[in-house]
């Protein structure tokens, strides 16, 4: 069975809160930050509701989960205090991860800031050597994330990941987290040459290192080096390409984690599309959402079909338009918001649906007509 879930909140009652949220989306795995990703303040380990969380996970058949290290730590920094803070904090995070019983902690390798990539790679390896040496008693691996290449971040090519791994002594404790948005933004062609990209990764890093896959669509064209995630189907990768990744034979068994943005016309009404994305990618939309949901999706196909609106052309056309600053100022609405407005104005769906429910149906419309044929 596909292991798929999303990033969930670890606030309030820790693992119990996280497991509850993950279960509400129909997840079979999930990912947490053990505290706010932007800072290093952490609650004491005995207030994380580990037992309660594990109980819920077991009942729901959730086994493997993933931790993500805060993204403010930078092992690539030449500044001694920043570097030492990163090393020390990562060691604590690894002990926390071990205590929760999690095998992989995802890490953004780091950024070289005012130096260069070669310096960054060497510095990150130096940091990892220190981090690993100080956490030998744990069972935790560090999963280096493939990065989009924004700013000076390292990990934007498979060669950079391999170069880090090469320089680390205990590198059997280094794994990789592939991020689909990041790889696409870094220039890898996941749409037309997925097999080629995986073969290249296997040659340079080794596919056996892949321990986690982050599943995100991208707001930017391939090679943009931006790192802006989009809900599945509403970006440049598209539902089909993402579905092929999630179901690829060579990635079988890994936890697939969605980090897609929440959607809503206002901050207050924003909701994640995780539940729909999980069902669509694992092929159990009918079981999860029922017959009326699919009837609504069929209505959307009729409604948009009549206006000759094709999901892929509409989504890419909108992102293309938003690249132009003037056009963006005139109408800043992203693809899903525009589609939502069209649906509401055209009364394409039965009344009484919430904004979230409408957006879930639009997400399913992205999956194409075969969704209706396959159930």
* Closer residue to Fe ion, CB minimum distance, 214 or 219: 214
How many other CB atoms are found less than 10 A from the CB of residue 182? 27
Binders of Fe ion among residues 138 to 167 (CB under 5 A) are: 145
User: Which partner, Fe ion, Zn ion, none, binds residue 185 by CB below 5 to 8 Å per kind?
Assistant: none
Comparison of 16 and 175: residue with beta carbon closer to Fe ion:
175
Distance CA 279, CA 166 (A): 39
**Residue number, 109 or 368, with CB nearest to Fe ion:** 109
In the complex, least distance from residue 188 CB atom to Zn ion, rounded to whole angstroms: 14
- Contact segment (CB under 5 A) with Zn ion among 72-80, 164-172, 223-231, 308-316 equals 223-231
Strands, DSSP E only, in 180-268?
210-215, 217-218, 229-230, 255-258
Number of residues that bind Fe ion (CB under 5 A): 3
214 binds Fe ion (CB under 5 A): yes
DSSP 271: B
Residue closer to Zn ion (CB basis): 7 or 173: 7
Nearer to Fe ion, 21 or 145 (CB): 145
Pairing mode, strands 255-258 and 3-7: parallel
Question: Strand pairing of 66-68 and 29-33?
Answer: parallel
Nearer to Zn ion, 227 or 275 (CB): 227
DSSP 3-state assignment of 332? coil
Nearer to Zn ion, 72 or 286 (CB): 72
227 binds, among Zn ion, Fe ion, none (CB under 5 to 8 A by kind): Zn ion
Please, what is the minimum distance in Å from the beta carbon of residue 71 to Fe ion? 6
CA distance 109 to 127: 10
| Closest separation in Å from C-beta 39 to Zn ion | 18
Partner whose binding site includes residue 214, from Fe ion, Zn ion, none (CB under 5 to 8 Å by kind) = Fe ion
Find all residues with CB under 8 Å of 210, minimum gap 6, and list them.
175, 176, 177, 178, 201, 251, 254
- Binding residue for Zn ion, selected from 145, 217, 227, 277, defined by CB under 5 A: 227
> What does the alpha-carbon distance between residue 342 and residue 336 come to, in Å, rounded to a whole number?
10
Residues touching Zn ion, count (CB under 5 A): 1
Sequence-distant (6+) residues with CB within 8 A of 68 are 7, 31, 32, 33, 37, 105, 106
Residues sharing a CB contact under 8 Å with residue 37, sequence separation 6 or more, in sequence order: 68, 70, 71, 72
Query: Pseudo-torsion of CA 204, 195, 68, 259, nearest 10°?
Result: 150
Give me the residue whose beta carbon is nearest to Zn ion: 227
**Dihedral class, residue 292 (left if φ above 0, else alpha if ψ from -120 to 50, else beta):** alpha
Contact between 179 and Fe ion per CB under 5 A: yes
Tell me the window of 54-62, 137-145, 162-170, 295-303 that interacts with Fe ion (CB under 5 A).
137-145
State in angstroms the smallest separation of the CB of 66 from Fe ion: 10
- Contact status: 93 vs Fe ion (CB under 5 A): no
Please report, as ranges, the residues that interact with Fe ion according to CB under 5 A. Answer: 145, 179, 214
Please report, as ranges, the residues that interact with Zn ion according to CB under 5 A. Answer: 227
């Amino acid at each position: 069975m596909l292991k798929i879930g999303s990033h969930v909140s670890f606030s309030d009652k820790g693992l119990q809160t996280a497991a509850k949220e993950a279960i509400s989306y129909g997840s079979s795995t999930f990912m947490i930050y053990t505290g706010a990703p932007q800072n290093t303040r952490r609650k004491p380990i005995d207030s994380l509701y580990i037992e309660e969380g594990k109980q819920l996970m077991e009942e729901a058949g959730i086994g493997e989960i993933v931790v993500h290290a805060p993204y403010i730590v930078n092992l690539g920094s030449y500044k001694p205090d920043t570097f030492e803070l990163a090393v020390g904090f990562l060691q604590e995070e690894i002990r926390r991860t071990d205590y929760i019983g999690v095998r992989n902690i995802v890490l953004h390798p780091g950024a070289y800031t005012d130096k260069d990539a070669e310096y960054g790679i060497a510095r990150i390896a130096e940091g990892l050597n220190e981090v690993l040496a100080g956490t030998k008693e744990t069972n935790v691996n560090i999963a280096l994330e493939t990065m989009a290449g924004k700013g000076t971040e390292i990990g934007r090519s498979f060669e950079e990941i391999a170069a880090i791994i090469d320089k680390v002594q205990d590198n059997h404790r280094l794994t990789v987290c592939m991020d689909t948005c990041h790889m696409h933004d870094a220039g890898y062609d996941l749409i037309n040459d997925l097999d080629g990209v995986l073969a290249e990764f296997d040659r340079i890093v080794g596919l056996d290192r892949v321990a986690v896959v982050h599943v995100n669509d991208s707001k930017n064209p391939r090679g943009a080096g931006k790192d802006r995630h989009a809900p599945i189907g509403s970006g440049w990768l598209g539902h089909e390409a993402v579905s092929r990744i999630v179901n690829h034979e060579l990635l079988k068994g890994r936890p697939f984690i969605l980090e897609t943005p929440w959607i809503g016309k206002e901050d207050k009404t924003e909701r994640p599309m995780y539940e729909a994305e999980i069902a669509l990618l694992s092929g159990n939309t009918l079981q999860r959402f029922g017959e009326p949901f699919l009837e609504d999706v069929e209505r959307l196909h009729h409604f948009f079909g009549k206006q000759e609106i094709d999901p892929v052309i509409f989504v890419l056309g909108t992102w293309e338009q938003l690249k132009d600053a003037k056009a963006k100022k005139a109408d800043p609405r992203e693809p899903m918001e525009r589609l939502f407005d069209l649906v509401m104005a055209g009364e394409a769906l039965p009344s009484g649906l919430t904004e979230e429910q409408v957006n879930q149906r639009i997400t399913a419309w992205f999956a194409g007509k075969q969704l209706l044929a396959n159930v």
